[in-house]
Chains A and B, each alone.
Chain A
Amino acid sequence: MKKTIMGNHAVSYGVRASEAKVISAYPITPQTHVVELLSEMCANGEIDAKFIKVESEHSAMAACVGASAAGSRAFTATSSQGLLLMTEMLHWAVGSRLPIVLANINRAIGPPWSIWTDQNDSLSMRDVGWVQIYCESNQETQDTIPQAFKIAEQLQLPVMLVLDAFFLSHTYEIVDILEAEEVRDFLPPYKPEIKLDVNEPHSFGNLASPDYYMELRYMIEEAMGEARELIKKTGKEFGERFGREYGLVHPYRCDDAETILVCSGTVASTVRAVIDQMREEGIKIGSLKMRVFRPFPFEEVREILGSAKKVAVLDRNISFGGHGIFFQEVKSALYGFTDIPVVGYILGLGGRDVTPEVLREVADKAINDKNPETYINWIGVKK
């Protein structure tokens, strides 16, 4: 059944189709609609889940950690300050190897207060050990939730979905709604072998001496390594069942492109429109949308960008004193494989519009600047 719904509700429908059993959340703009609809679904029996209405995001993640450790499928959603408050428990979920799914609506961090989008909240969690998937449309958002649970439960690692505040969270699009009955074969009920169980008592997370800690960390990295193939396989299997396939990255008109714009989130759709326009003018340009940020798709990035003459990375985020975060990652992925120039552009922070005009400016700059002296360029800053 097709419905016109907002991005936030696409998350809720994805959770409904995935039959999450414990949901715990705390309100924050612009995430709130996700859990409002879920609490309604719980109340009217559309979904058989227990909703724990906690007193903070830190507690929301702690409740998910407890529920998941007890063997139930757990979900939460948050934004910005909420994600930051959760940080400690995000680590706890990883160390405990719990397949929790979280939807983070990208919102700029205060102060000053801002409710509008940028990626600094989720990207400041890049080293925590969550798989991170950046969504571009409402359909993709809904479809990614059951995939996220499937990936998480196979890896025993948590997965974070990321979507732009307002540009996606509050935008209405037509979505082919998934029903639990049709998803169940793709995503069977969660039945973990190891869980809190009085019939098989174990102590989870107790003191690990230096003799053990490092191996446990190595195993997390191993799981992240496996995630690359698994995400592709899962996206393909989803495509076979539902007709919509997903991967690690999404290249667009890259085959003969001399310049490639690397982007993520909703900016990617605007980028494609600009590329079409420039292609009509005979300019050899393409784009690479990063759907998955962790694990970083090194191979795909090297393969697709390796044939270009110049790479421009668009960052809706900034690591102060260290450039844009996608820029750093792309550059490190290419190191030793190619010496083409990679230039970074910081734009759209705190929800500033990234219009086709802005993107055209970036593309022209990237093409025309023959010897870029700075590898970090701020776009549209009023001076």
Chain B
Amino acid sequence: MKEARISTEELMGSGHLACQGCGATQAMRLALKALGRQTVLVIPACCWSVIDGSFPHSAVDLPIFHTAFETAAVTASGVKAGLQMRGDTETTVVAWAGDGGTYDIGLQALSGAAERNEDIIYVCYDNEAYMNTGIQRSSSTPVGAWTTTTPVTNYKKRPKKNMIDIMAAHSIPYVATTSVAYPEDLVNKFKKAREIKGTRYIQIMAPCPTGWKLDPKLTIWIARRAVTTKVYPMIEVTENGEKISVFKDFEPTPFNEYIKAQGRFRHLSDEEIGKMEKGVEISWNKLLAKEKMLASIPAMDTQTG
């Protein structure tokens, strides 16, 4: 992995309102180190609408606009246009949403913004459920998981939605996943994204100990295991969706260990875990095949004019 120079400047303060071991907090802290001061944040309803702190306080030393749940991408588009029209063309506008605000209620506005190739960075910090409202399933919740709306007697039967393919299908210049367990990767991807014009989508694996029923001291450990078990591949999709590169520089670790550490999977039998593991393996192999296949085809110029 490429080393990163990570700024020692903290744009996020310590007086925030997050739970112990919150992955979303690390995600913000690291992302802001890459983005720097010339950044405006747009935050829809999500854990971060609370984490920021209550009026008149804010845990982040940047302009923030809190907006309605389903509007992160389009409010950010409006902010960018508003800044541009009053002569500020340099400021980076970042929509910062959770998985519910991205995969579910905000998907329409996000798709619209991406199709128009709005000049924004859209970040989804992914903790795989509606954590702020008390751990309800979202379409990002993985198969097999318990949530308060998928009780153990009827746990989640459908797989996690593939947001990366959805975003890549919009022919936008940059799509990536990263993880709070890989600060260099996270910072490098945000630095790279900051220099690109158009819609950039970055999804950050940000574990939620509260919702995953996990010891809060294990946040970074579990996020790293999500990558090394191939459950949450770290990838980059570039050239307007035409090229994929998958991070493979890791020692694989047992799937079982990842699952057993989290209370949200405690109800699963060995057989069910075995089935899930097979699913992960198939997805991983498909991803590698796609990476190889796309590498062999010249990228198409999707932009005209």
Contacts and interface: CB of A to CB of B under 8 A. Distances in A.
**A and B: real partners?**
yes
Interface of A: 21-22, 24, 48-50, 52-56, 58-59, 62-72, 74, 88-89, 92, 196-198, 200-209, 212
Interface string B37-71: 11110100000011011111010111111111011
B143 interface: no
What class of interface size applies to chain B in its complex with A? 35 or more
B78 A24 contact: yes
Contacts of B77: 52, 54, 63, 66
Contacts of B275: none
Contact of A53 (B58, B75, B116): B116
A67 B52 contact: no
A196 B68 contact: no
B85 A49 contact: yes
Given A69-B78, A204-B63, 12 more contacts: A21-B82, A24-B78, A55-B111, A63-B81, A64-B78, A66-B79, A70-B86, A92-B67, A202-B58, A203-B60, A207-B50, A212-B56
B74 A62 contact: yes
A15 to B, nearest CB: 14
A67 B116 contact: no
A70 B78 contact: yes
A4 B74 CA distance: 36
Contacts of A197: 63
B164 interface: no
A204 B82 contact: no
Interface in B182-217: none
A56 B108 CA distance: 9
A196 B108 contact: no
Contacts of B56: 212
A204 B111 contact: no
B294 interface: no
A203 to B, nearest CB: 4
A83 B59 CA distance: 35
Contact of B64 (A63, A66, A67, A204): A204
B84 interface: yes
Contacts of A65: 67, 71, 75, 78
Nearest to A22: B81
A70 B79 CA distance: 5
A200 B91 CA distance: 13
Top 4 nearest A-B pairs (CB, nearest first) are A66-B78, A70-B82, A55-B112, A67-B82
A208 B85 contact: no
Interface of B: 37-40, 42, 49-50, 52-56, 58, 60-68, 70-71, 74-86, 88, 91, 108-109, 111-112, 115-116, 118
A67 B112 contact: no
B78 A201 contact: no
B82 A203 contact: no
Nearest to B95: A66
A206 B66 contact: yes
B54 A206 contact: yes
A206 B49 contact: yes
Contacts of B75: 62-63, 65-66
A66 B82 contact: yes
Contacts of A50: 81, 84-85
Nearest to A216: B55
Contacts of B66: 203-206
Contacts of A58: 70-71, 109
A22 B82 contact: yes
Contacts of A67: 78-79, 81-82, 85
B191 to A, nearest CB: 18
B82 A201 contact: no
Contacts of A208: 54-55
Contact of A66 (B38, B42, B52, B88): B42
A206 B37 contact: no
A136 to B, nearest CB: 32
A206 B55 CA distance: 6
A207 B17 CA distance: 11
B82 A68 contact: yes
Contacts of B80: 66, 70
28 contacts: A22-B81, A50-B84, A50-B85, A52-B77, A54-B112, A55-B111, A58-B109, A59-B109, A62-B74, A62-B75, A62-B109, A65-B75, A66-B67, A66-B74, A66-B79, A66-B81, A67-B79, A67-B82, A68-B82, A70-B80, A71-B86, A72-B85, A196-B79, A200-B63, A203-B63, A206-B58, A209-B55, A212-B55
B67 A205 contact: yes
Q: Which of A49, A63, A198, A201 has the most C-beta atoms of chain B within 10 angstroms of its own C-beta?
A: A63
A69 B81 CA distance: 11
